[in-house]
Amino acid sequence: MFKGKTVLTGVKPTGTPHLGNYLGAIKPAIALGNQATNHFMFIADYHAINAEKDPVVLNQKIKEVACVYLAFGLDPNHTVFYRQSDVPEITEITTILYAYTPKGLMNKSHAYKACVDKNREAGKPDDDGINMGLYTYPTLMAADILTFNTDIVPVGRDQIQHVEIARDIAGAFNAHYGEEVLKQPTYYIEESVAVVPGVDGRKMSKSYNNVIPLFADDKEIKKAVFSVPTDSRPIEEPKNPDEILVYEIYKSIATPEQLKEMADGLRGGKLGYGHIKNMLLSAVLDEVKEAREKYNYYMENYHEVEEMLKKGAEKARPIAQATLKRLKDKVFGR
Ligand code: ADP
Ligand code: TRP
C-alpha cells in the first residue's frame, strides 16, 4: 500500500528510547519508510522548543534521536532525513496556512486541550504556561506534512486529529482557489503494534519510571529486567504464562518459537522466574546489540550525522521551495 506513495514521518527529540518506543514507534516507522516510494523523515525541532527551553538539553536530545534512527537502520539514501529547522520554507508555509486555519480548530486540538485541563485541575488559569507555539502547533504540523505533497502519515492514535487538521487546512485552501493546490494527506495506523508493558505492568513510559532502557549499559538493562515482580511459587508448579508479566513483555519482542518455548516451560513447571528473566534479557540484548554499537559510533562521530542531515535538507528544500512558490503565486496572484 505504500508503493508509489509519499510517506512522511515526524519524530520528536525526546531523548534515548526505551523498549516501548523502539517496538511501538521506531521499528515500524523505519519498516514503513522502506516500503514507501518516497519517504521523508524529520526531527521536529521547532515543535520541541515549545517545551524545551534549555539549548544544551535540546541539542543533546536532537543528537540522540538522529543517532537512534540511524542506528536502527534508517537508510539516508532512501529516506530524506532532515531537521525541520534546516528547511525554513516550512515555517514560511506555516505563515500562509495561518490565514486558512480557523482559530476554533486550534481551540479543539487535543494537545492544547490537555494543557488547559491540567491547569484547571491544578486550579490555575486556563492558559497558564501555554505559549503560542503549543497553541498553534497543529498548523506547523500541517505545514510539515503539506510541504512535501504527502500521501500518508503513519501515526500513533494520539496524532490522528492533527493529520485531520492538516487535511482540513489543505481542503480550505483548495476550496478557496477552486483547485488542488495542496495534496490532502491520510493517516495510517499500524494495527499490529501493541502497547509494550513496563516493568510494573502499566504501559512502559518515561513518565512512569518503568522502562527497559536500550542504550544503557548491560548492567542497567539487566537491573530493569530483573525488577519485574514475580511471586514465590516454586519452579515445578505449573503456571499460566498469561498471568506472568515477564511473559507479557516477552511477547512484544520474542519470535513465535521463543514464545512457545517460554510458555511450554512455564506450563510444564520446567522454567523458573530466573530463567525467564534471563530469556527476556537475552532477547532484548540480541535485538539491540548491533544498534547499540552503531549508536555509540554515531554519537562519537556526530559530524558524519550532521553531514547526512545537511544532505537531507538539501534534498528536501527544492520540494519545499516548489510548494512555497505554488502557494505564494496563489495568495499574491502572481
Ligand atoms: P513515553 O510514554 O515514554 O514518554 P513518548 O510519549 O515519547 O513515550 O512516545 C514516543 C513514541 O513511542 C510514540 O509514538 C508512542 O506511541 C511510542 N510508545 C511509547 N511507549 C510505548 C509503549 N509502551 N508501547 C508501544 N509504543 C510506545
Ligand atoms: N506531533 C508529532 C508527535 O507529537 C510529531 C510531528 C510533528 C509529526 N510534525 C509531524 C508527525 C508531521 C507526523 C507528521 O509525535
Residue 324 is part of a domain; what is its CATH number? Answer: 3.40.50.620
141 and 25: one domain?
yes
Q: pLDDT value at position 190?
A: 87
| CA distance to 98, 183, 197, 326, per residue, from 331 (Å) | 12, 17, 49, 9
Name, in order, each residue with C-beta under 8 angstroms of 314's C-beta and a sequence gap of 6 or more: none
85: helix, coil or strand? helix
Pairing of strands 38-43, 79-83: parallel
The answer to the question of residue 200 being in a domain is: no
pTM of the model: 0.93
56 and 37 assigned to the same domain = yes
Residue 156: per-residue pLDDT: 85
> What whole-number distance in Å separates Cα of residue 325 and Cα of residue 89?
10
C-alpha cell at 10: 515526524
Question: Grid coordinates 545537511 are at which residue?
Answer: 310
Residuewise pLDDT in 10s, the chain (334 residues):
899 999 999 999 988 899 999 998 999 999 999 999 999 999 999 999 999 999 999 999 999 999 999 999 999 999 999 999 999 999 999 999 999 999 999 999 998 999 999 999 999 999 999 999 999 999 999 999 999 999 999 998 889 999 999 999 999 999 999 999 999 999 999 888 888 999 999 999 998 999 999 999 999 999 999 999 999 999 999 999 999 999 999 999 999 999 999 999 999 999 999 999 999 999 999 999 999 999 999 999 999 999 999 999 999 999 999 999 999 999 999 8
Q: What is the pLDDT of residue 14?
A: 87
In a domain, residue 136? The reply is yes
pLDDT value at residue 219? 95
Q: How many domains does the chain have?
A: 2
| Run of H or E including 6 | strand 6-11
Among all ligands shown, which has an atom nearest to the Cα of 26? 1
Kindly state the cell numbers that stand for 46: 521547532
Q: State the cell numbers at 113.
A: 486541550
Residue 50 CA to residue 66 CA, distance in Å, equals 19
Distance 283 CA to ligand 2 centre (A): 30
Ligand 2 centre distance from Cα of residue 269 (Å): 47
- Do both 34 and 109 map to the same domain? yes
Nearest atom within ligand 1 for CA of residue 207:
4
Take atom 13 of ligand 2 and give the residue whose Cα is closest. Answer: 10
Together in a domain, 167 and 51: yes
Q: Which domain holds residue 42?
A: 6-195+302-331
Is ligand 2 within 6 A of the CB of residue 141? yes
Does 229 map to a domain?
yes
Query: For helices 302-331 and 55-71, what crossing angle results, to 10°?
Result: 100
201 lies in some domain: no
Runs of H (alpha helix) within the chain: 19-21, 27-35, 45-48, 55-71, 89-98, 103-107, 110-121, 132-135, 137-146, 160-177, 218-226, 245-251, 256-267, 273-300, 302-331
- Tell me how far the alpha carbon of residue 11 lies from the centroid of ligand 1, in angstroms: 11
- Do 217 and 275 fall into the same domain? yes
Claim to verify: residue 96 and residue 145 sit in the same structural domain: yes
| Shortest-distance atom of ligand 2 to CA 8 | 14
Distance 188 CA to ligand 2 centre (A): 13
Which residues does a 6 A CB cutoff place in the pocket of ligand 1?
14, 20-21, 23-25, 156, 195-196, 203-207
CATH number of the domain encompassing residue 241:
1.10.240.10
What is the per-residue pLDDT for 15?
80
Q: What is the grid cell recorded at 115?
A: 494543557
130 and 220 inside one domain: no
Rounded to the nearest whole angstrom, what is the distance from the C-alpha of residue 317 to the centroid of ligand 2?
19
